[in-house]
Amino acid sequence: MNTLDFYNKKLTQLNYSQRTIKQYRWFVDKYIREIRKSPAHLTLKDLDHYLVNQKWSSVSQQNQMINALKLFYKYSLNKTDLHLSKIERPRKEKKLPKVLDASFLVHKISKIENLKHKAILSLCFSVGLRVSEIINLKIEHIDSHRMRIMIKASKGKKDREAPLTENILKLLREYYKTYRPEEYLFNGQFKTQYSTNSCQKIFKKYISEKHSIHSLRHSCFSELASKGVNLKHIQDLAGHTSSKTTEIYLHTDNHLNKLPLAI
């Protein structure tokens, strides 16, 4: 078993998500190819030099690379003498999330005739679901008796629940009668699951070419914050570990007194 396969196996044992394992392995593979020497022979100074001279698309990407390499050196190479904790982390970017006006979104979504597309975008906006959470929703996760949406093994492998409104339930029932999905709530054309790429495409088709579907999540929480909804409630709805992550929505300008989120 080579070092990358062992790395993959170890992260699986540590219960990292398959998405994170795939990302981390890609970063480590990139690192090994670019240094052109055995990573076991590199010093902390060499590693720091590599990180400093990379072009990062974001602070988040840079931190992911650092995380990936720390785990690689610790578990695959058993190099505990490198003192990887001394690697300096980049300062976090203080960017406000991209938010769209709630009434604009309600109007746009209400005009969609395709029931599957309408249901996907409505769910994303009404309770701020991530696109990964949308495509992983199963029929059994819609609890019409308790009026709850169960979100399983989301970011950080955490489960949570979100409220199910009467309007969303009605829309989902209409959608189900038309499409008759199996297991997953949203099936792809040739697969049992709808894809992230397809979700992005329908967002750009109906809502905005300049934004991504993730802006629906930001717009949901920003609108709730502007209406004075308790921050702890928004934090629980979003699945944020820290309240500081949620507090950013207190600083977004999404206009007050717009249409309700129960679309």
Query: Which domain CATH number covers 172?
Result: 1.10.443.10
The CATH number covering residue 79 comes to 1.10.150.130
> Is 195 a member of any domain?
yes
> Is 188 a member of any domain?
yes
What are the backbone angles phi and psi of residue 142, rounded to the nearest 5°? -95, 105
Which of 82, 206, 87, 193 has its CA nearest to residue 137? Answer: 193
Mean pLDDT by 10 residues, the chain (263 residues): 81 85 89 80 77 81 86 78 66 72 93 96 93 94 95 81 94 96 93 93 94 92 88 88 82 46 42
**What is the predicted pLDDT for the residue at 178?**
96
Contacts of 20 (CB under 8 A, 6+ apart): 11
DSSP calls for 70-106: HHIIIIIS--GGG-GGGSPPPPPP--PPP---HHHHH
Looking at the structure, do residues 122 and 73 belong to the same domain, yes or no?
no
> Is 263 a member of any domain?
no
What Rg value do the Cα atoms of the chain yield, rounded? 21
> Is 54 a member of any domain?
yes
**What is the predicted pLDDT for the residue at 64?**
87
Which residue range is the domain that position 42 belongs to?
3-86
pTM of the model: 0.67
∠ CA 112-155-142, rounded to 5°:
50
Looking at the structure, do residues 69 and 106 belong to the same domain, yes or no?
no
**What is the predicted pLDDT for the residue at 254?**
46
What single-letter DSSP state applies at residue 153? S
d(CA 237, CA 231): 10
> Is 262 a member of any domain?
no
| CA atoms 162, 167, 168, 169: torsion sign | positive
Looking at the structure, do residues 17 and 67 belong to the same domain, yes or no?
yes
> Is 192 a member of any domain?
yes
Residues facing 150 on adjacent strands? 161
**What is the predicted pLDDT for the residue at 82?**
62
The last residue of one of the domains, among 31, 59, 86, is 86
Looking at the structure, do residues 44 and 163 belong to the same domain, yes or no?
no
Looking at the structure, do residues 221 and 128 belong to the same domain, yes or no?
yes
The last residue of one of the domains, among 86, 112, 141, is 86
Q: How many residues does the chain have?
A: 263
Looking at the structure, do residues 170 and 66 belong to the same domain, yes or no?
no
Looking at the structure, do residues 80 and 135 belong to the same domain, yes or no?
no
Looking at the structure, do residues 47 and 16 belong to the same domain, yes or no?
yes
**What is the predicted pLDDT for the residue at 104?**
93
Quick check: 105 and 194 in contact, CB under 8 A? no
> Is 193 a member of any domain?
yes
d(CA 110, CA 167): 11
The last residue of one of the domains, among 53, 86, 119, is 86
Looking at the structure, do residues 109 and 229 belong to the same domain, yes or no?
yes
Looking at the structure, do residues 133 and 81 belong to the same domain, yes or no?
no
DSSP calls for 208-233: -SSS-THHHHHHHHHHHHHTT--HHH
**What is the predicted pLDDT for the residue at 256?**
39
The count of structural domains within the chain is: 2
Quick check: 8 and 24 in contact, CB under 8 A? no
**What is the predicted pLDDT for the residue at 261?**
42
Looking at the structure, do residues 43 and 148 belong to the same domain, yes or no?
no
Angle at which helix 166-179 crosses helix 115-127, to 10 degrees, equals 150
Looking at the structure, do residues 81 and 113 belong to the same domain, yes or no?
no
d(CA 152, CA 235): 17
